[in-house]
């Protein structure tokens, strides 16, 4: 049995004694799909896009905490890249103004 993700799932997972239980968060009418929030954190580069269409959809199956962590990591990586580009730019500029080697 597979259970799809939803940012506003009607179930949640509970781990007890090494087993994972799917527990209803509310009464679920007959015929309604059972879903829970995957709260992924280890998907690598996969965007794990969510299409659940709930009002509070994050657009991703990653947890809100993981999305914040990834956003901060991307921001830090961009800042590092900017610093690297500035350093390279300064080196190139100094190479242009240095006198040619004497022969």
- Kindly tell me which of 53 and 96 has the beta carbon lying closer to Zn ion: 53
- Stated as kind and residue range, the H or E segment containing 16 is strand 11-16
Binding segment for Zn ion (CB under 5 A), chosen from 40-48, 57-65, 69-77, 91-99, is 57-65
Binding segment for Zn ion (CB under 5 A), chosen from 13-21, 47-55, 71-79, 92-100, is 47-55
Residue 50 contacts Zn ion per CB under 5 A: yes
> Contact with Zn ion (CB under 5 A): which of 14, 23, 57, 77?
57
> Two tokens at 96?
């242009």
Distance (Å) of CA 56 to CA 37, 43, 51, 60, 103: 12, 21, 11, 11, 70
């Amino acid at each position: 049995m597979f259970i799809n993700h939803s940012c506003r799932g009607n179930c949640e997972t509970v781990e007890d004694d090494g087993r994972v239980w799917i527990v209803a968060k509310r009464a679920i009418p007959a015929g309604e799909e059972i879903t829970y929030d995957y709260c992924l954190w280890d998907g690598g580069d996969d965007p794990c896009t969510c299409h659940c269409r709930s009002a509070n959809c994050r657009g991703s199956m990653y947890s809100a905490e993981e999305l914040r962590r990834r956003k901060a990591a991307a921001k830090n990586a961009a800042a590092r890249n900017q610093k690297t580009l500035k350093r390279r730019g300064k080196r190139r500029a100094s190479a242009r103004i240095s006198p040619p080697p004497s022969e």
